[in-house]
Chain A
């Protein structure tokens, strides 16, 4: 079932709706969700993740406002045609995608500061992690 596209972490400082918004943006930017692809219904996502349907509606609504998603009659929410942008692999596209990583890295940076790690140590660790096979 397509709803396993999403996962959430309740209790983090990111409200659940924002976690969903970020995930859809990442999936669209990374091409896992192509333009025209249908998203699982609000009800399915709410059931699958056990969250209030209003939270899912809110995330979808915001993504629609941003132009990432579009509402299509009879189908529900789909990825908007222009959402992925034309220039796959261009510099601007990479910048956009990198921006999506920022919230995660900001959290990591905060924890690094709490642990009083110096930037060189943190960057070395991140480089190491990037080279590990997934």
Chain B
């Protein structure tokens, strides 16, 4: 069996007295495309940095393609691509200089792909030769994506890769992800707050909450199984199967969010409604 691209066991990370990752277990299997979700400050970027070895952990173990982080071979390192949320590195270089610099570090480098992405993403001669710090936020983000895709990685980790992109830029990035990355069987982990993007490309989602992966599964299954049940307290007294949370509404009725439990048969006075991904996000991460 091929080892999982990501395998984390009991990973802990504290900032001061605050636990950001708390005994976190997570596994991403070969070819999975996983959307990592969580509220602002939940620790998504920290999780990504810890799993890539960019940040030291306080405990636990991380294996990438079966190799422990502290003994990662160059060959395995070259199989990983990463787009940070914001990168201040290499700002004095031009786009072309930066790409050349990275090209020298990787045994595999897809020149044709780089040229085609730069063309399609609007990098004309002028932009290619401008210092990176003078590019706009969206242009820097696109360049960062080109750099991460250039060595045809087997594992791609993207930290809010589309946050600075306009709708057309996002669509073009997603198209490249669908056609140039996912089609190749690449394992992808990406975080985003743009849930419609996630729904387009990520069959699997993982929710980070209180320092752990609180819920992980196939997005379709989660959506198919998620329901909001609203009715009088007298009828919804007992815990429902798959209950995630419940709340009282102003008029004294009870609102229960269930996930994966058997769907309730028609009960008079009780309303059962499906949930979209945004509702599910809010309920799971609350």
Is A37 an interface residue when CB atoms closer than 8 A count as contact? no
Majority-rule SS of A interface residues: helix
Contacts of B224 in A (CB 8 A): 15, 18
The answer to whether B199 and A16 touch across the interface, beta carbons within 8 angstroms, is yes
With the chains together, A51 CA to B198 CA distance in Å? 9
CA gap between A132 and B203 in the complex, in Å:
39
The residue in A10, A13, A49, A54 that gathers the most chain B C-beta atoms within 10 A of its C-beta is A13
Do the beta carbons of B182 and A52 come within 8 Å of each other?
yes
Question: Bound state CA distance, A51 and B171, in angstroms?
Answer: 10
How far is B197's CA from A53's CA once the two chains are assembled, in angstroms? 14
Which residues B234-286 have CB closer than 8 A to chain A?
273-279
Residue of B nearest to A10 (CB): B196
Does B164 touch A at the CB level, under 8 Å? no
Q: Does A58 contact B (CB under 8 A)?
A: yes
B182 touching A50 by the CB < 8 A rule?
Answer: no
B276 contacts A58, C-beta separation under 8 Å: no
Are B200 and A52 in touch, CB under 8 angstroms?
A: yes
Contact string, B14-48, partner A, CB cutoff 8 A, digits 1/0? 00000000000000000001000000000000000
Please judge, given known A-B contacts A10-B196, A55-B203, whether A15 and B219 are in contact too, CB under 8 Å. Answer: yes
A54→B204 CA distance, assembly (Å): 11
Determine if A43 and B274 form an interchain contact, defined as CB atoms under 8 angstroms apart. Answer: no
- B174 contacts chain A at the CB level, 8 A cutoff: yes
B131 to chain A, nearest CB (A): 32
Asked whether A50 lies within 8 Å of B175 as measured between CB atoms, the reply is yes
Q: Is the pair A10, B200 in contact by a Cβ cutoff of 8 Å?
A: yes
Closest-by-CB residue of B relative to A58 is B220
Query: Which of B183, B224, B274 is packed against the most chain A CB atoms within 10 Å?
Result: B274
Q: Which residue of B178, B201, B203, B276 contacts A47 across the interface (Cβ within 8 Å)?
A: B178
A52 and B276 within 8 A (CB): no
Interfacial chain A residues near B277, Cβ < 8 Å: 11
Closest to B176 in A: A50
Asked if residues A53 and B199 are in contact (CB atoms below 8 Å), the reply is: no
What are 9 of the A-B contact pairs (CB < 8 Å)?
A10-B196, A11-B199, A11-B276, A12-B276, A13-B223, A47-B179, A50-B174, A50-B200, A58-B220
